[in-house]
C-alpha cells in the first residue's frame, strides 16, 4: 500500500506536497487563510487560540509535537485552526505531562496536519506576497489545479465577522487562577473587583490572570448590550482577543461606543482594535501579521522593552487614533506599528498583543495589575502606574 499524500495549495498557484498527520481520511479537505507563527514552542496553546479561527497555521520551528499534548494547556473549549503545517511532526513525545501525541489529538479534533514540506519556502512566499488563502487536501483524487482553484474562491479574511462563531451564547462565571504558574505582581489590598468580560474568543489564560488578582469575572457574549452591561454594575469592563476583521464586529463596536470609559475598560488584541474603532479610529490589514512569542515592543510611557506574544492580522491606524483622543503607549519595534494605547481623559487602555502569553514570555503580565489599579482609581492609567507595575513584576 502506497503512503497517503497531503497537499497544501495556495491561491498564487504554489502547491506543496507532504504527508498527512492528524486527520488522515482520504478526501479530507480544509481551507482558510494561511499564516505563520515564529514561536519555538506553545503549539497546543496556538492550536486552541480562537484568534486562529478560519486559518491554516504554519510553524516556522522545525519540529512540532516533541512534548505531546497536556490537558491543562488548552486555551479554549476546542481546537481553533482549520489546518496545521509543520516541517516535521514528532510521533513519540517525551514529557511526563503528555496525555497524547500531537497527531492523535489533532485526529480526535478533526484537524488535518501536513508535514514533510519546506516550511522555509512557504514562509518566504507569505512574507513576500502576504497571507494567502489555501487548501489542505488528503489523497490524490483531485489535481493540483483543482486545489488551487478551490483556494481562490475562499472568502477573504477582510470583512469577516468571526467573533460570533467563537463567542459564548450564555454568561458564565470564571474562577480558575494560574495555579502553579502564578506570577506575583502588585498587592491590591485584597479587594475583589467585578469584571464583565466581553468574550470575542478569549484565551483561558487571560481569565486566569484576572482571577489570580482577585477579580470576580463574569464572562458574557460579545454582543451583550450596553444596558445589560450596566445592569451588572461592574467595576471594570474587559474586551478579549478573537478572530476575523475587527471592523466587521459592528454590534460590539456600537456597544463600546456607548459604554467604554463609563467604567475602567481594558482590551487585548481584537479587543484593542474594537475599542479603537468605537472611539472613531480606523484599522487596517497587515501584510502577513504578527504571530509568535518573540515580538519586541517598547512601552513608550516607561521606556522599557518587552518581548511579547502576538497573534493578529489587523492593526490600529495611529494617526486616526490620535485624532479621537487616543495616546499611543506601546510600539512594535519590528515595524513601528501601534501596539497599545490609552485614552487621555477616560479610563480606557488596551494592547495589541497578549500579556497573558500562555506559554510565555511573561514580560507584559504587569498590564493586568494596571487594569486592577485603574479599577481602584477609576481614572486614566498613568506612566507612574505602569512603572510601578513593571517594577513589582520584575522584583517578584
Q: How many residues does the chain have?
A: 396
Active site (annotated) includes residue 180: no
What is the DSSP secondary-structure string of 237-298?
EEE---SS-GGG-HHHHHHHHHHBTTB-EEEETHHHHHHHHHHT--EEEEEEEEEEEEEEEE
Is 88 among the catalytic positions?
A: no
Look-up: residue for cell 481569565?
Answer: 207
CA 54, 338, 363, 215 torsion-angle sign: negative
Choice among 11, 75, 306, 356 that is catalytic: 356
- Sign of the Cα torsion 68, 71, 73, 79 reads positive
Active-site residue (options: 6, 354, 362, 370): 354
Residue 87 Cα distances to 60, 70, 84, 275, 361, angstroms: 8, 22, 10, 38, 24
Q: Which of 269, 272, 330, 343 is labelled catalytic?
A: 269
96 is catalytic: no
Q: Which of 347, 368, 354 is nearest to 213 (CA)?
A: 368
Q: How far apart are CA 68 and CA 254, in angstroms?
A: 42
Phi/psi of residue 389, each to 5°?
Answer: -65, -40
Q: Could you list the active site residues?
A: 269, 354, 356
Amino acid at each position: 500500500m502506497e503512503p497517503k499524500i497531503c497537499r497544501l495549495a495556495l491561491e498564487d498557484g504554489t502547491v506543496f506536497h507532504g504527508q498527512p498527520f492528524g486527520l488522515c481520511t482520504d478526501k479530507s479537505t480544509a481551507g482558510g487563510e494561511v499564516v505563520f507563527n515564529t514561536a519555538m514552542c506553545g503549539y497546543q496553546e496556538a492550536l486552541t487560540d480562537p484568534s486562529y479561527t478560519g486559518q491554516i497555521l504554519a510553524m516556522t520551528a522545525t519540529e512540532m509535537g516533541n512534548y505531546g499534548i497536556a490537558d491543562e494547556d488548552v486555551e479554549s473549549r476546542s481546537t481553533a485552526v482549520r489546518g496545521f503545517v509543520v516541517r516535521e511532526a514528532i510521533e513519540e513525545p517525551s514529557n511526563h505531562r503528555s496525555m497524547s501525541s500531537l497527531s492523535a489529538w489533532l485526529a480526535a479534533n478533526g484537524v488535518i496536519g501536513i508535514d514533510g514540506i519546506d516550511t522555509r519556502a512557504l514562509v518566504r512566499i507569505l512574507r513576500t506576497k502576504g497571507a494567502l488563502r489555501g487548501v489542505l487536501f488528503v489523497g490524490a483524487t483531485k489535481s493540483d489545479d483543482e486545489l488551487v482553484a478551490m483556494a481562490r474562491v475562499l472568502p477573504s479574511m477582510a470583512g469577516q465577522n468571526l467573533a460570533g462563531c467563537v463567542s459564548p451564547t450564555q454568561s458564565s462565571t470564571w474562577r480558575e487562577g494560574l495555579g502553579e504558574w502564578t506570577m506575583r505582581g502588585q498587592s491590591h489590598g485584597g479587594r475583589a473587583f467585578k469584571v464583565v468580560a466581553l468574550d470575542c474568543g478569549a484565551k483561558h489564560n487571560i481569565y486566569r490572570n484576572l482571577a489570580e488578582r482577585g477579580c470576580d469575572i463574569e464572562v458574557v457574549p460579545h454582543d451583550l448590550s450596553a444596558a445589560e452591561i450596566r445592569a451588572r454594575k461592574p467595576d471594570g469592563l474587559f474586551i478579549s482577543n478573537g478572530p476575523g476583521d475587527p471592523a466587521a464586529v459592528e454590534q460590539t463596536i456600537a456597544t463600546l461606543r456607548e459604554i467604554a470609559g463609563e467604567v475602567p475598560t481594558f482590551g487585548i488584541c481584537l479587543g484593542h482594535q474594537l475599542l479603537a474603532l468605537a472611539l472613531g479610529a480606523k484599522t487596517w490589514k497587515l501584510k502577513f501579521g504578527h504571530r509568535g512569542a518573540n515580538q519586541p515592543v517598547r512601552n513608550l510611557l516607561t521606556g522599557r522593552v518587552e518581548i511579547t506574544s502576538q497573534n493578529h492580522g489587523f492593526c490600529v491606524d495611529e494617526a486616526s487614533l490620535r485624532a479621537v483622543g487616543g495616546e499611543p503607549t506601546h510600539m512594535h519595534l519590528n515595524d513601528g506599528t501601534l501596539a497599545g494605547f490609552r485614552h487621555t481623559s477616560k479610563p480606557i487602555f488596551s494592547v495589541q498583543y497578549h500579556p497573558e502569553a500562555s506559554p510565555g514570555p511573561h514580560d507584559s503580565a504587569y498590564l493586568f495589575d494596571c487594569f486592577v489599579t485603574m479599577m481602584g482609581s477609576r481614572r486614566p492609567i498613568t506612566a507612574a502606574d505602569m512603572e510601578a507595575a513593571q517594577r513589582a513584576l520584575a522584583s517578584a
